[in-house]
Structure 1
Amino acid sequence: MATPKQIQRLRRSEGTEKFIQALEQDGGVIIEDFADVAVVEQANAEVKPWIEEQKSSNGAKVGALGGKTRTVTRLVMRSPTVRDKFFADPLYQALCEHFLALETTTWYGEKAQVNTSHPLLSISIAFDIPPGTPAQGLHRDDKNHHARHTQASQYSRNRDMLLGLFVPGCDTMRANGATRVIPGSHLWGDDKPDFGPDGTKDVVDAELKKGEAFIMLGSLYHGGGAYAEPITSNPEAESRTVYAMFSCTGVHRQEEISFLSYPVEEVKKYSRIVQERLGWKQSEPNLGWVDLKSPEFLLQE
C-alpha cells in the first residue's frame, strides 16, 4: 500500500508564498512556530472557566455537539489571547486575504469599477474533547454554505469560501484524537468519496505540538480522531482542547451571527482588523451597510 501524502510543516521565516503553495497543493499546512507556549497557556487560562461552566450538577460533561465534548462559543470575545494573538495573527490574515478576498470589475455606465470584498470571521469556538470520544466522520466544513466542488488537477483562485485555523491547547496526537485529514482532497468533486473499506484510505493525522497550528481550506476532507482511552491514570486532566476559527468570504453568511453575539461596546475595544472581520465594515461596493453607510461609524458613536 502506498504511503499517504503527508501534511507540510513550515516555519514563518519561509514566507507567505510557501504557505500559499502548500495550501493550494495539499489543502492544509502546519505552522511550526505559530505561537509561544506561554501564549497558548494564557489562552488556556482564559478559556478554562468557560469550559468548566458546562459541567452539570452531577459532574457530567455536556456540549453542543453531543457526547461529552464541551464547547465555548463567542471565543473571540471570551479570550483576548485567542482574539489578538491567534485570530488576528498576520500570517493567518494574509492567507485569508489571498484565498477569500474577492475582487471584481463591473461597469457603471462607461466607467469601470474595481471592488474588493474582504473576509469575515465565520465562527470562533473551542472544543474540549475528553477520553471516550469516537472519531468524527470525514467531512468538509464548507457544507454549511452549500458549497459545490468540481474535480480539479490543480488549484484555482477563489475555489474556496472558508479558511480554518486550529490552535491546540495541548499536544495533540493520534492517541488523543488528533484531526485526521486527506491531503489533496480539496481538489475532489462532489461525488461520493472513496475512503476505503475501513474509512482510512489516504488519511493522515495532523499531529500538533503546543505552539503549532494547522490551517485548512474549507473544502478539505477531515474529521476529529478517536480519543478512546485516557493516556494516563488521570482522565479528568486529559481533555484535548482545540481553538478553531474559520473565516469566510465577505459575501457569505457567517456561521456565528456576530451582530447578535458581540455587544457594540465590547467590539469598540477590539483592533480594527478584528472589527472589520466581525462585519463592521461594508463589503464593497454595497453589501452590509447601515443607513447607506459602512457600519464602522457606529463604533465611533
Structure 2
Amino acid sequence: MPSAKTPAFTTLPRESPDEAILEAFDRDGAVIISDLLNETSINVILKELNLDPTATSEQCVTALASKSPTIVNEVLLSSQLNRLLTARMSKTTTIWHGEELLTNTSRPYLSASVVFEAAPGKAAQPLHRHDDIYFVDHPLDIPVEIWALIALDDSGVGEGGSMIDGILESHKWGEEWDPAGHSLASSGMKRGDCFLLHGSMIHRGGENSSTSLRRTLGVSWAQGHMRQEENQFLNVSKEVAMKLDEKTQRLIGYRMNAPFGGWYELRDPITYLQPEDKVDKTMRDFLEKEIDEQNVV
C-alpha cells in the first residue's frame, strides 16, 4: 500500500491560463480548478436533481444531460473545460481515400455523467485507473478518458477526508504498477472546485470520516472514435430489440464489458429491455467478472 498522504495536488484559480492548467495536468495527472461552479449553481443543481441537502443515505443520479439544464450549460458546455479537453484529447489523422488525401479529427464526447454520494463513515475505494474500461496499454500518448469531478460539498482534512486520493505522475506508469512506497496526494476541495483527472492516474475515492453526506458531480469524456461504426441503439428500435433473443440483444450492444464499460443506470444495460418486474435494479460501481455470454440462450 502507498505511504501516508503527504503531497497535494496543484490548485489553480479558474481564471488561470489554459497553459498553466494543462502544465499541472500533464505533470501530475490531475489538477484542481477552483470555483468552477458557484454556490447558486450548486443549489440549483441539487433542486433540479431532487437531492435533499439534509439527506444522510446514499443515492446516485445518472443521465444528467436529461435532468439538469444547469449541468448542461455550466459543465458540459463549459468553454473552459471544452478547450482543455480538446487540447488533450483531440486526435487528427491523415488518410488516403482513393487518390484523395483526407484529414479527419476525432474530438472528445460525453462518456458518463453521475452524481454520487459518500455516506458518513464510508471507507476509501481501492486504488484503480478509470481508463481500464477501455483496455488500453499504458502509458498513453493521448488520454483516452478525462474526468471532471466537482465537489458539491467541502472535502479535506477538516471536513472528514479528501474527495480523491491519487499518486502523482502515475498516469505515466506502465501496466505493472505497484503503489508500495509511493505517497498518496490528497485533494482538499471547496464546494464548487473541479478535480480534472487523467483517466490513467492511479487514484481512489477518499474516505468520508465526517458525520455528513458528501456529494460529487462526475462527468467524463472519451475519445470520439471509440464507438460502434453503425449506431445499433438508434437503428434497432427498443420495440424491435425487445423481441430479439438475449444473445442477439447483447451482441448489438446491450451488455456491460468488465470491469464497467457500457453501463445503464449503473447496471447491466440488458435490463433496459427486460420487463419491469424482472429487472435487477442494484446499482454497482464495478463488475467483478465478465458476463458469461456463451451460456446465454
Structure 1 segment 27-176 matched on structure 2, within 5 A: 27-49=29-51, 61=57, 69-150=58-139, 157-158=141-142, 160-174=143-157, 175-176=160-161
Pairs aligned (count): 228
In structure 2, the CA distance between the partners of 1:3 and 1:51, relative to structure 1 (3 Å rule), is closer
SS of match in other structure, 1:35? coil
Aligned residues of 1:51 and 1:72 also touching (Cα < 8 A): no
CA distance in 1 between counterparts of 2:62 and 2:222 reads 17
Q: Which runs of 5+ in 2 are unaligned?
A: 235-297
Aligned residues of 1:169 and 1:240 also touching (Cα < 8 A): yes
2:34 is matched by which residue type in structure 1? E
TM-score, with normalisation over the residues of structure 2?
0.70
Structure 1 segment 151-300 matched on structure 2, within 5 A: 157-158=141-142, 160-174=143-157, 175-196=160-181, 201-230=182-211, 238-253=212-227
**Corresponding residue of 1:15:** 17
Tell me the CA shift for residue 51 of structure 1: 9.8
**Corresponding residue of 2:270:** none
1:225 is matched by which residue type in structure 2? G
Residues 161-191 of structure 1 deviation map (CA, whole Å, 9 limit, x = unaligned): 0010011111112414521111211111110
SS of match in other structure, 2:60? strand
In structure 2, the CA distance between the partners of 1:242 and 1:45, relative to structure 1 (3 Å rule), is same
Residues 203-257 of structure 1 deviation map (CA, whole Å, 9 limit, x = unaligned): 0211210121110110011111112352xxxxxxx21010000000011149xx9
In structure 2, the CA distance between the partners of 1:47 and 1:173, relative to structure 1 (3 Å rule), is farther
Which 4+ runs in 1 deviate beyond 6 A?
Answer: none
Tell me the CA shift for residue 104 of structure 1: 0.2
Identical counterparts, % of pairs = 27
In structure 2, the CA distance between the partners of 1:37 and 1:50, relative to structure 1 (3 Å rule), is closer
1:83 is matched by which residue type in structure 2? V
